[in-house]
Structure 1
């Protein structure tokens, strides 16, 4: 057994263990941390399969953004753990059925190559790296779908900001348009007041 196989089995064992701990851990914070470990192990397996783009995307997007957000949400929310465990056994048959179907589908797809169930289509070998090849395809053959997807994401971001960024009446915010039109003569007024004499303001002795 070579070193690559040893590393593959090591990452696979960590991935399976972390996946089981995600659904069996009682503390939701620990479950999220185990899910982060599962994603990192999956990224390592993708690197062994020479799929650098998928490995980097898995680590940066899911571990670096999504799971950190989930971790903060779980830590900030006051979650009643006893209430969450009440309906666990009632959903167990449905969850076991869905898991069995997923395992069956994966077995058919993976075992199809061994039993010649599908037509073998070997892709052409590329001399460049995986990331460079994907970048070339995105910005040449699939540039229009890529731009359409970026516009859709931009519209979604603007819509989310417009829906959540409501103006509050209690906030004391300045209107830049009105602030630019302000003149010094409208805000500052000079009042001419006569000066008072000192002997008039100081009381005399005997008064």
Structure 2
């Protein structure tokens, strides 16, 4: 057994075990920490296959942003997880159906690559060997040339989603003094200074 094979089994075992702990841990904070461990081991598996870009994206985006956000939300908000778990069985049939569909898709993809290896030769833009071009460079060539419009559209969709989330969650509370930038910029010396004439003996 080579060193690469040993690390593959190590990363795979820890990833599967930590993924199981994500759904079995009673404390939600522990679940998020096990999720971060799962992401780290998945990144190690990506590195073993030569996909260093996907490994770094997994660490930067999911561990550095999503998982940490989950951790802060779970720790800061007083969420009643017992009430949330009470309605799990209601949606269990739908989740089971979705799981079956995803498992069938994975089996079809794996079985197709095993029983028909020539399918990989029909790819219009195959991945070049690592000796000729790095994985990140090859991905950038495809993403920013042939799929640049789809890349920009995806960015616009995320921007609209972000603006929509801000608009839907924004609440204006009454009786709170707010800063109005437009009024501050449009004011004149006549309106900026108020001169009050106080009669003798009537001052504070």
TM-score by length of 1: 0.76
> Does 2:131 align with 1:125?
no
Change over 3 Å in CA distance of 1:178–1:88 after alignment to 2: closer
Residue deviations 1:118-147 (CA, integer Å, cap 9, x gap): 643243524221111111222211111112
Greater CA radius of gyration, 1 or 2? 1
TM-superposed deviation, 1:91: 7.1
TM-superposed deviation, 1:51: 1.2
Partner of 2:19: 19
Partner of 1:153: 158
Partner of 2:195: 189
TM-superposed deviation, 1:77: 3.1
Equivalent positions of 1:21-36 (< 5 A) are 21-36=21-36
RMSD, matched Cα: 3.1
TM-superposed deviation, 1:162: 2.8
Partner of 2:184: 179
User: In the comparison of the two structures, how many residue pairs are matched?
Assistant: 194
Counterpart-to-counterpart distance in 2, 1:192 and 1:100 = 82
Higher helix share: 2
Moved more, 45-54 or 124-133: 124-133
Give ranges in structure 2 of 5+ residues lacking alignment.
Answer: none
TM-score by length of 2: 0.76
Partner of 1:165: 170
